[in-house]
Structures are given as structure tokens and as C-alpha cells.
Structure 1
Amino acid sequence: MVKEATFGPIRIDLQQSRALRQVIGIVTHPAGRIGTLLVIPILFLAVFGPSMVPWGPNALNTNDLLQAPSTSHLMGTDQLGRDQFARVIDALPLAFTVPFGAVGIALVAGSIIGVLAGYLGAYWERFLMWITDIFLAMPALLLAIFVVAVFGGGAVNTMIAISLIYMPRFARIARGSTLRIKNLAFTDAARIAGVPPLQIIARHILPSIFPELLVMATLSLSNALVALSTLSFLGLGVIPPQADLGNMLSKSVKFVTLAPWLIWFPALVLTMIILSFNLTGDAVRDVVDPRVNRAREAASRV
């Protein structure tokens, strides 16, 4: 009884300290540090930007059509006289919520499918992996375009469409990791002790495969944002007049010689967000992925 009374808190403290060390390691990692520095000002604008601009993102001003950047309009105005700075700020929340939401849905759904397929095996594994193979056989962007074309545009439908691109990839990673872990000594001991399968999955398998899934998730964020911008650029993503960086780039192409700033600023912000996602993903991979840690330890012993 004494061991049971002390083991729980000790285990929780160890897990918390390990998680804290990993967070500190990600933030202090060279790539993570640069990614954090890039994303902080963008997040600041997304949260506090609307109160800094006297104009709404869709406020028309026929007297200020295609105005160059100035003290009145920091990023200039578009062909309808709308303030570009206000529209970029209005587009920032979607640039974070849609990729995070899409990757989150793909992570949860793919993990459930992959873990069940790997743990149950037999015809369940063949059936579930057959479903994921169907999605993997389709070109990723065409799959998203098909879903949006059938169910319509908008942030929610675009999020679901993008999640279908990455769900099979998470499922395959989860299945492979589950197949590797389910026959190890600690899971065999749990089965022999009569632990229910769902409890084995929740307490032993999921915590063991989560680092690999987390690395995949962080590295997928930038691609999800590119997919969102591509769909909006094609007119299939976020529905106007809601501002979106991809849609803003699409509408600005015809004015590239007359008003190049219409492309400069949305493209710069989009590039900064994608770069910050990539750098943070690299940092998470280096800190969290156990395979990278083992390779680093082996190299240090040479």
C-alpha cells in the first residue's frame, strides 16, 4: 500500500518535469528560438491588431483606391480602397485556427484508426488500412478540392478537407508504432494480468507512440497552411468577404505591376508563419522524437 501511495505522485512529478524540460528544450533550440521570434509578433497582431487599426477589413473607400503604403495605410489599400493592414490582421486568426484544427482532427482520427488496426490485427487491420489506402491513393490537393467542391467552401469545410489529407498519414504512423509496441514485455505483462484492451491502449500504447505523432503534427502545420492558402487562392477555401492570405494574393495578381505591395505584405506574412511552423517542427522533432535522441546520444559516444 505504501508503494501505491507514493508511486502515483512520483510518476506524475517525473512526467511533469520531463514535459517541462522538453518545452524548455524546444524554446531554447536554435530552430525553435527563431521560430518563436518569428511567430510572436504575428500572434500579437492577431490578438491586438484589430484595436490598432481605425478601419474595418471590409470598409470601402473610393477616394483611396490602390494607395501605396503610407502613415495612414501602413500596407496600402487594394482596388476597392480597403486597408491592407486591416485585412491582413483579419486573416491572421484563420491562418492559425484552420491548420491547427485540421491537423488536430487528423491526429485524433488517424491515431484512433491506426492504433485499433495495429492492436486488433486480422481483418480489422486490413479493413481500416484499406480505408486509409483509398485516401492515400488520391492526390492530396485534388482530394481537398473535391471535398470543398462537394460540400462548399468556408473555414470549417476547408478544415475538414485538409484534415482528410493528413489523417491517413497519422493512421499509418500509429499503426506501425502500435505493431512495434504491442508485443513488448510491458504490454504482454498487462495482458497477462488481465488489463482490458482499452486500458492497455490508453495507459501503455498511446503514451509510447505520442512523441512520434506529435512530431508529425508539428511538421504538418506548415503544409496545412499551404493547402489552406492554395484552396483560397483558387477560390475554393475561405469565402469572401472574409479576409484570407491566399485569397488576398489571388485578387492581387492582376495588380502586380500597378500595386505590387498588394502581394508583398500578404506573401511576407504567409512566409513568416510557414517558416515559423517549419522551424518549430524541426525543434520538436529534435527534442521529442526518441529516435533522434538515441542517434544524438550514440553520436556523442563516438
Structure 2
Amino acid sequence: RYSRLGVMVAWCVRWKAPRRKRVIVFTSMMLVGLAGAMFRQSLRILGEHTKLSKSSQKNSANTVIKNFGASVGNGEGRTPRRISDPPSNMDRLPDIKDSNHLSTAGNEKEKKAKDITVFYHTFINHINEREGWNILIEQVKTMLNSPIIDRIKAIKYTTIHTPLTLPDCPICQNLGHYEEGFELKTHQKMFEYCENHPDERVIYIHSKGTYHPCEMNEVLRKAFMRSVFSEECHTQASGFGCNTCGFRYSPFPHPHFPGNFFAAECEYIRKLTPPSLA
């Protein structure tokens, strides 16, 4: 290893090239050599760990066999117990009807279902107007046919760039039109609503794919919609102590739902920084 390193150093010194290039080449070689050494050391440690694990498993197996042989040898004259027979000293399993054994998640449906308001950020440009309308119609159908439609009070939407009215949607309410703007405008509307309705839930969605129509955006949009409008997202999430729900969650670089589709408790939303100040 050290002989190879010496050859590389001598080669770099005698190389008739600008000093900057020699430094770059020498540094690259050093990094490659260091990475190789670390890789070989990792393989060595992994091999030793594997040998140790196999040795421990073998000793454990021998101990179990010895104990089993001793118990069989001391059990002469006893009536053998069938595997299907439970041990006599086994504690009684809790009856599923016992109320004290039911989980919080199981009782969630028995609680009063919270009203849900959807906040929908829409955008259509003139270049992809037909594709944009198809996406809006698809999302409206998903909402109206979702398993939680009986709990949705209203679908409040904002329009950017192109003024429009969502067709065949009796519970849709237009919050306003903006010639230009980003999702923070709809976020602010949702924040203000939660300040006045802390006991409700909200869902935030947007017309993903109308700005960049592509197959990947279509797949993600449908997955996001199915998750935030699922029954489980609104009946089981709080049973696990969750006040938000979505298809994907990431703590980096800050806690958020990639794709920006989510459902949340208004009690949580109203504690956040107002979007207008972000």
C-alpha cells in the first residue's frame, strides 16, 4: 500500500505540469486511496461480526438442544401434551368485547366526526389550457366520490392566472382570483379559517401538473389525492397522536409533506406562523 503511494507521489512531483493541476491530481489520488482503505476496513469488520454472530447462534442452539434433552429425560411416565393444548398456567387472553382493552384508534369512529373543509389552489395557463381543465375535473371527481364526502362542508378554491368556475360542484366556493401569485395566498385563507374554526379539520391540495404536465406529476397527483381523501387519514391518524396526515412526510430540511398535499387539525394549523408573514 505504501509503495503504491510513494510511486504516486514521485509521479506527481516529476510531472511537468502546472502546480495547481499537480495538487488536484495528488489530492484526488489521496482521496481514492483513503476511500479504498476505509472500504477494506469495513469489509474486515463485517467479516468478524458475521463470524461472531454465527458462533453465538451455534452456542445458543446447542444450549436449547441440551435443555430440551434434559426435559425429555425427566419427563418419563408423564402424559405428553399436544401442541394444540394451551399451557395450564397461561393467562387468559383479554376478551375483545372488554372496553378497557380497546385502543384509542378503535374508538375513533365512535367519536363525533369533525367537519372537513378543503382548500384548493388552482392554476391554468393558456399554453396547456385543455390539460389543465382535465386535471381540475379529475380532482373534483375524486373529491366528490371520496369516502369522506359526507364530512366535507365545502371546497374553497382560489384561481391564479385564469378565472374559472369549477363545474358540477355544488359545495365549491370561489375565494377569489389573482392574476399572479403562489400557494401562500391559499395557505393564508386556510390559516384564517382555522383561526375561527379550531375544532375542524382541513385538507390542502393544488392542481399539480397544470404548470408542468407530465406522467410523473400525474402519478404523484393521483397518489396524493387518494391519501388525503382516504377514510384512514381522518379516522386513524389521531389515534396514533398525529395531527397531520399525507402521502409522504419528511423531516428534512424541515418538517413537511413533499408535494404539498396534506390534511391537518385546525387546532394545529392555527399555532403556526401566518403564511403572510413567512
Q: TM-score higher than 0.5 here?
A: no
Q: Which has the higher contact order (CA 8 A, sep 6+)?
A: 1
TM bucket, shorter chain? under 0.3
Tell me the TM-score normalized by structure 2.
0.25
Of the two, which has the highest radius of gyration?
2
Tell me the TM-score normalized by structure 1.
0.24
More strand by share: 2
